[in-house]
Structure 1
Amino acid sequence: MERLWTPAWIARHVAMVVLVVGFLGLGWWQVTRAAGGNTLSFGYAIEWPVFAAFVVFVWWREVRHTLRAAREQATVPAPSAAADAEPAVATPAVRRPVRVSRVPAAPADGVDDGELAAYNRYLSWLNANPGARPGDYPG
């Protein structure tokens, strides 16, 4: 439970309380407007408490996630000092993307495809002549 009393978590608790009270207050304000004859406010009177419930749901989910992570860390056995193997490196949850250079693949049999070469010449001609139509190709 002490993980939930860090400065970051205290800010989350305060934000949750402020948002829920604010959303419920706005919902009550819409109820009073709806009672005064504004029919559109009936929808908003329902919407604001739903927003408050969503804030409570997200807060509760984060609390459970934090407590579950703390429990899992406590149950992980300590590595034995007798093991001479390299320590296992934990895989990060988010990894950096791998950059791959793309090069054209060589034909499997080593012989160029004549139709493919002609098509590539056609595409190169179209790229070099942006205003041309495909029927203008001289090849």
Structure 2
Amino acid sequence: MKRLWTPAWIARHVAMVVLVVGFLGLGWWQVSRAAAGNSLSWGYAVEWPIFAGFVAYVWWREVRLARRGAEESTEAAVDPADAPADEPSPSVSDGPVRPAVRRPVRVARVPAVGAGEDADLAAYNRYLSWLNANPGARPGDYPG
């Protein structure tokens, strides 16, 4: 819980309150304009509270993720080897399963070795290499 009271989190809390209050105020302003006869303001009167709800939802989700990260870090600090023998050690099935961070797969660009080369594919590859060698040329200028 202390993690949510760092200077960065205090700034996020303040920003959320300012945005929600501001968006709700703008919504009320649009309601007053719509009541005065501006029919377009009815749409904006509905839109501003939706924006405020979105800001509140994003803030709530970020707080929840930060608290979950704090709980996982404290659970990771407990060594299962230090647990008494009569208590079962935590297993993989305990708690939510999170996907592991994976590194990107690097693939070497090696041409595939086939039994024979397709004549149409070879002609198309020659055409593409000619276009690449002649960047200002048009497709109709190809001599082949």
- TM-score (norm. length: structure 1): 0.72
Distance 1:66 1:92 in 2: 18
Distance 1:124 1:56 in 2: 55
Partner of 2:110: 103
Per-residue CA deviations over 1:6-52 (Å, capped at 9, x if unaligned) read 01100100110110011011101101110110001011001101110
Q: Give the aligned length.
A: 119
After TM superposition, the structure 1 stretch with the greater mean CA deviation from structure 2, 39-48 or 123-132, is 123-132
- Deviating beyond 4 angstroms after TM superposition, the runs of 4 or more aligned structure 1 residues are none
Distance 1:71 1:124 in 2: 56
- Stretches of structure 1 that go unaligned for 5 or more consecutive residues are 82-90
Distance 1:78 1:104 in 2: 50
Partner of 2:60: 60
Q: Does the CA contact (< 8 Å) of 1:126 and 1:132 recur in 2? A: no
Question: Which of 113, 116, 132 matches 1:113?
Answer: 116
- Stretches of structure 2 that go unaligned for 5 or more consecutive residues are 83-98, 132-138
Q: CA RMSD in A?
A: 2.6
> In the alignment, does 2:79 pair up with 1:78?
yes
Provide closer, same or farther for how the CA distance between residues 72 and 126 of structure 1 changes in structure 2, counting only shifts above 3 A: closer
- How far apart are 1:54 and its partner, in Å? 0.8
- How far apart are 1:65 and its partner, in Å? 1.2
Partner of 2:15: 15
Secondary structure in structure 1 of the residue aligned to 2:140: coil
